[in-house]
Structures are given as structure tokens and as C-alpha cells.
Amino acid sequence: MAGFIDFAVANCSDMETTLEGFGVTQATQGCVVGNPPYGVRLMARDLDVFYGALQKGLDALPDAWTLTVITPDIHFDDYIGATPFTESAVYNGALETTVRTYQLGQAEHKTLSLVSLSGRDVVVPVLSDHPDQFAARLRKNAKARRKWAEQNQVFAFRLYDADLPDYAVAIDLFLASEEVRATHIERAFDVPYLLISEYQAPKSIDPHKAYRRFEDTVRIAAAVLEIPRDQVFTRVRKQAKGGGQYARGRTLPKPVLTQESGLTFELDLAPCMMFGIAGAALAMVQTAKNKKAAIGLVVSAAICAFVCGVTEPFEFGFMFLCFPLYIVYAALYGIFTIITYYSGFRAGFCFSAGATDLVFSASLPAHANTWMIIPLGIAAFVVFYLVFRFAITKFDLKTPGREDEDEEAAEANITLANNDYTAIAKGVLAAVGGKGNVANVDYCATRLRFEVKDSTAVNEKAVKAAGAAGVIRPSKTACQVVIGPKVQFVYDELKKML
């Protein structure tokens, strides 16, 4: 077999040259077998570019040729423009894939003729049936919006926002002013950028059809606006189903420095994330009744915010317990944003505003007065600490470690009237309205948790008479019977009666 096999690196978009290199010319029939990248480990961002190159190479082959591929991509048929005449499900490692064979002569490729903004005639390969309406709307919007942007000195703006329901995307254009180009040439490199964000398609829309429309918006937008494809970036809301759940979205490679009304936009919220949250966390720990629980939750979250700039663990730790305090927290953020701007501190950030990002972003061309992080950070720490401590103690706010744990501790020490769990379970069941009134029952550390059909049928006096400590009603249909630490034994007997 060695005489029939050659190994070489070749360009898949130029199949004719590749075949000539192997000494194959004028071949009217043959087959191409491939295991192209899936976008899982290789080419996660530029898989669509590769598929476009592959399609170009296949188009040059005679109609009698066939193509066989191993792929998990449910949209591969769209790129080839044909339906496979054989298809088999296989596993490639842990990935669910299919082996698909196509007859190249049966491929059908649609094209759309359109006019770019400069008046140039362009032919674009498309996948969906009626993309001409989207192309016309985008060109109309672009002409009007760019004229408005030039008049108002705006260099980042939205051209299209799901104007047509069938093409539910948002398209944003990022430009660079002459001032930015002159003073921050590194950041103005290869603008304009085009960002196309996909909205979630309704469940009634076929996922294949939604995918084809999204691909067409990318191709058409690049052609109409005359922006190179490598400067068009996407955000995909939902990944493909099945084994090939890889992202096709190409995200912006760096922050875009732009201007509006003479102002350069790029702020850093590091004083709040790195220092303000630390001050708020200290106030929560000092005012907590259960300091061990507070330290475990808010201190670890504060460290996460300081180092990584990820604030959600801290915010979720108290925003649902005490939403008014979250309003105060948001207001302090707003105040320090204004202070940060007017202090002249500029450091930008690529992911968030933590210490790690600050180290890397502080050297970007637009940075200024990065030393201001020290006084601003100290001020943020002190203000957040004092405001949080005052609000928590003054209004007895329920922050982590200040929950009503006395009640839980008391329940843990409850002793049943006797150890006849069967009798207690029978009495409790009768007290909540009997078997017919119980929709569901579960238990936690100290309580039986009932979902009842008729809450008026629950007799609290009868519950206590059965040996339980009391009843709590969180909602109209929920009923919790306080048993104590031996709740599981009562629950086991109760389940036998239902």
C-alpha cells in the first residue's frame, strides 16, 4: 500500500493544484475523504472560514466526485449545499458524530447579487431562501446611520437591531476617530470592527433555518459594508445541539477605543471591585452573628472580586437576602464611577476589573494615572465599609451570618413528646387534613415539608397535640411541621401511610 499513499500539507481551497502535486490530472471520478476540525479542540473560532475554503476547493472538482466526512456538525450539509446519500452515526472518542457521503455533482449553491455602500456590485454565497430583504434593509440603515454618526461625531453605533423578525440579530459598527488613530495607533489597528450578535430564535423556528439565516447576515453585512471577514465578529446565543456543541462565535480580540461627542470611552471600575467590596465584606463579617458562616461566604467572594474582578459570588450572597442593601451597593458603584472618571484614572480592562486584569491592562496605550488606584481604592474601602456597617446595624439588615439562626438552633434542640414515630406521623397526617389533602411531602434538617391542596384544613393545635413543636406556613399551599432532629424517623413512618 505504501506505493499508493502520499502524505503532504496542502491548501484545501485549491484542490486542483493539490491533485496535480500528487500527479493526478484530468480525473473525472474520485473521492475525497476527510475528518475536518470540529471546532472543539481545533479552530473553535474560525471554523466557518475553513468551511468556506473547503467549499471553494470542492467546487473545482468534477461532478462525479464524492465527499465522505466524519463530522458532528449538524450544519455541514449547508456548507456543502447537498444532502448526503449515506449517513451513519459513529463515536469519535466521546463525541457523537456521523459519517456522511455526498455526491458533489448534486450540490446546489445559492448566490445573492447586491450593491455595497460604495456602489460596487457584489455576489455573495447564501444559505437561506430570501436574504435580499435583509440586505436591502441593512444597506438603507447603514446609509442613514453613518450620515447621522458623521454629523454627531459618533464612532460606535448600531446599524440594525432585529428590524426583520426572520433575521433576528443586532449589528454594531466600531470606528476610530482621527484623534484615536493619531494618538493610539496600536488600538486603532484594523478598524472598523463589525460585531453581529444573535438573538435567541423562538422555539417554533427550525434551528437549521435559524442557523442559515445567521450565517447569511454575517456574509451579507461584510459585503454591504465592505468590511473584511476577519474584522467581522459574532456572538452566538445558542450552540448547536447534539455532539457538536462548539462555538462558532468570533469575539473581539481586544477592547475597542472609540469616541463620542469628543469623549474617549474606556473606564476601569477596579477601585470598587478590588477595594470597595473588601470594605463591604469586612462590615458584614463584623456585624454577623455567625461569623464563621460570614467569613466562609463573603471573605472568599471578596478575594475572588479582588483578584479576578468577578463580583457575582459576593453580590448573590446578599442581594436576595437584603435587596435594599444591594440598591445602596449599586449607588456607591455609580458614585465611584463618576469619581474615577474625573480623577483621570484610565486603565481599561479586557475581562473584568480585578487585580489580575489591572496588571495587564495598565500598560495599554490609553492608560493614564494608574497610580490613582491606591488613593481611590483606599477611599472606596473606607466608604463601602462605613456605609455598609451603618446600614446593617441601623436597620438590622439580614446579611450573610445575620439570618434568623436562633430559630434553627432551637429547632435542632427540640425533643419529641415520645418516640412513637408511627403515632406522631399518624397524628400529624390527620392534623394536615389527611392523606387526601397532601399533594407532596419532603423533609429537611428539622421539618416535614408538606404541599397541601387546602391550607384551611391544616389544624395547628392538632399538629402540636400529635407531638410536633409547631407549624410554619411559607405560602398558601406550603405547610412545614417542626419535628426536630428526629424528623427522618417520622418522615419514614409518614411515607408508609401515604
Catalytic sites, residue numbers = 444
Cα–Cα distance measured from residue 407 to residue 293, given in angstroms and rounded to the nearest whole number = 16
For helices 323-343 and 373-395, the axis angle rounded to 10 degrees is 160
Q: Can you list the positions of beta strands (E) in 250-334?
A: 258-260, 263-265
Do residues 362 and 353 make contact, with C-beta atoms less than 8 angstroms apart?
Answer: no
Backbone region of residue 119 per phi and psi (left: phi > 0; alpha: psi in -120 to 50; beta: other values) = left
DSSP at 152: H
Do residues 132 and 112 make contact, with C-beta atoms less than 8 angstroms apart?
Answer: yes
CB atoms within 10 A of CB 285: 20
Residue 171's closest CA among 235, 115, 119? 235
CA 190 to chain centre: 27
- What is the secondary structure of 422-447 as a DSSP string? HHHHHHHHHHTT-GGGEEEEEE-SSE
In this structure, the strands spanning 263-265 and 258-260 are antiparallel
Which residue do the cell numbers 439562626 mark? Answer: 405
Residue 189's closest CA among 175, 201, 200, 203? 175
CB atoms within 10 A of CB 272: 29
- What is the secondary structure of 480-491 as a DSSP string? EEE--TTHHHHH
φ and ψ at residue 429, rounded to 5 degrees: -60, -40
CA 196 to chain centre: 15
C-alpha distances out from residue 22 to 32, 112, 217, 378, 387, Å: 14, 36, 38, 69, 76
Do residues 480 and 448 make contact, with C-beta atoms less than 8 angstroms apart?
Answer: yes
CB atoms within 10 A of CB 125: 17
Q: 474-497: buried (b, 16+ CB within 10 Å) or exposed (e) per residue?
A: eeeeebbbbbbeebebbbebbeee
